[in-house]
Structure 1
Amino acid sequence: MMKTILITDSCSDLPVKYATENNIVVVPLSFQFKGADHVDDFGKSISYKEFYEELRKGELSSTSQVNAYTFAEVFKKYISQGFSILYIGFSSALSGTYNSSCMARDEILAEYPSADISVIDSKCASMGLGLLVYYACERLKSGKSKDEVVNWIEENKLKLNHWFTVDDLHHLKRGGRVSATSAVIGTLLDIKPILNVNKEGRLIPISKVKGRKKSIKSLAEELKNRIVDPENQVIAISHGDCEDEARILEKLIREYVNVKNIIINYIGPVVGSHSGPGTIALFFFGKERSE
């Protein structure tokens, strides 16, 4: 049986230590920032802190998907070493990256028909994608076959709940997620949106609350109402340079339910370019996502 190599992209916002220790290959997306091109490399070339501090000062960042050529190079490298490939990618509704991986797979299979390459559209973002990769990795380590893991992901990915709130509506306005009027009025009235990711893998505004404290509490309440089998779950919180508030959310969750573990990590610069500083996102397995 061929050994499986697990590949994802940098929008998974996985802790670098976990990815390295488990030999997970992370293909970086790139971002254009302060007149230069950067790759999303776990904060090595530009630290997360510096990135968010510059955004707070009004600096803008734009992002680029991974192209098919890059994926083909990565896939060929591991195929030539005798691996079978499992790539779990950023939601196709948010980026063309998954589409590039499909093009690369098709190109390689035309050349090497016996290559074993599975690519999955996670319909997830940030640590939602990271959690899916984490569970896939743990299953492979426990001896499950690649096909078993692929089937498990396809059956469970839409149960991965994404709930988040942002501190500054103007970043969502730039990405077309809220209107200019909503952004201005919301900012004046200290309105914080609660958003989630739907079945298609798109960001959808769900409700609005007044003030930051309420918005953090409502994330914890969504988890309390929707989580399934918390005792056996590792859940995740990612944040746009506001770890103290992520810890407040962690504390609230632990008061509500008993979860196995909570991973807290930064939202990387590619996702962070669109959500902005002060974003807090919560990820867990629960009731199936809505339309």
Structure 2
Amino acid sequence: MYKIILDSCGELTEEMKKDGHFVNVPLTLEIDEQQIIDDDSFDQASFIKAVAESPNAPKSACPSPNAYMVEMDCDADNIYVVTLSAQLSGSYNSACLGKDLYEEDDESKNIHVFDSKSASIGETLIALKIAECENAGMSFEQVIETVDAYIEGQHTFFVLETLETFRKSGRLSGLKAAIAETLNIKPVMGSTDNGYIQQLAKGRGMNQTIDKMTKCVMDVTTDCENKILAISHCNCPDRALSLKKKMESLATFKEIFIVDMRGVSTMYANDGGVILVV
């Protein structure tokens, strides 16, 4: 038996929720004095409204080591944990500490923590890859080796409708944010090999920026017919569907699916943001 634990930045599809092998451990979101648990009770619309009305940037707190340990205490022999990029959150370090503490009392299980070097559906795709390897009958060590290689070859891209969260958090000066807003400039962002975020391109208007993102995707993507492409969106299902159709017109993928963002992804991407991972 196996179990796959994701922090709540990794969205589960409806099929994954029904599967029984996957579970989320929630982060906590904070906006002003309000704390929000990023679980099934998360209300995206009210969170977006609260973020827009606040002069402060939203924050997140990673799950405690004990929260991971609770999920490790199960009947599964092989346990895999998938977290947000260690460069973006303390979730990975917390999961590693939870693993070490759990193994002090119980060494009977195989437990491994993966740093996704990504976020959102990047974690989702990694979890699906783990399940694919397990269902193919691979050993615990083979699963780790295969999934590590998959992570190294994975690419994450996202486009933001607004830069307000970056401005509020101090990651972008007010002047630059104002100029970008006035000129309707949108950045195409992507993850680096070590899990940091970098700007890849920029466009004027969302349609042009989406086109530039798809070009960035195709510049680094090969063997499309054997790859799953995933899209997550924050309150913009039509934009996500349009992006899906655009990618289908550019290449034949093994599968393309769309999910709505949970809390942590919503905090990063903000209203109208889209993330694409392949």
Output the TM-score relative to the length of structure 1. Answer: 0.88
Q: CA contact under 8 A between 1:132 and 1:157: conserved in structure 2?
A: yes
The CA deviation at 1:24 is 0.5
The CA deviation at 1:104 is 1.3
Q: Aligned to 1:37, what secondary structure does the other structure show? A: strand
User: How has the CA–CA distance of structure 1 residues 95 and 259 changed in structure 2, closer, same or farther, with 3 Å as cutoff?
Assistant: same
1:65 aligns with 2:59: no
In the alignment, which residue of structure 1 is the partner of 2:212?
A: 218
Q: CA contact under 8 A between 1:163 and 1:196: conserved in structure 2?
A: yes
What aligned pairs does 1:65-144 form with structure 2 within 5 A after superposition?
65-75=62-72, 77-78=73-74, 81=75, 83-144=77-138
Q: Which of 19, 22, 29 is the aligned partner of 1:24?
A: 22
Alpha-carbon distance in structure 2 between the residues aligned to 1:281 and 1:68: 28
Output the TM-score relative to the length of structure 2. Answer: 0.92
The CA deviation at 1:160 is 0.8
The CA deviation at 1:53 is 4.4
Alpha-carbon distance in structure 2 between the residues aligned to 1:61 and 1:17: 30
User: How has the CA–CA distance of structure 1 residues 20 and 180 changed in structure 2, closer, same or farther, with 3 Å as cutoff?
Assistant: farther
In the alignment, which residue of structure 2 is the partner of 1:289?
A: none
The CA deviation at 1:234 is 1.5
1:91-142 CA deviation, whole Å, 9 max, x = no partner?
1101001101111111122223343211111111111111111111122122
Alpha-carbon distance in structure 2 between the residues aligned to 1:129 and 1:208: 25
Alpha-carbon distance in structure 1 between the residues aligned to 2:194 and 2:162: 25
What aligned pairs does 1:39-54 form with structure 2 within 5 A after superposition?
39-41=37-39, 44-54=40-50
The percent of aligned pairs where both chains have the same amino acid is 25
Amino acid at match of 1:104: G
Q: Aligned to 2:215, what secondary structure does the other structure show? A: helix
Unpaired stretches in structure 2, ≥5 consecutive residues? none
Matched residues, number: 277
| Backbone CA RMSD of aligned residues | 2.0
In the alignment, which residue of structure 2 is the partner of 1:268?
A: 262
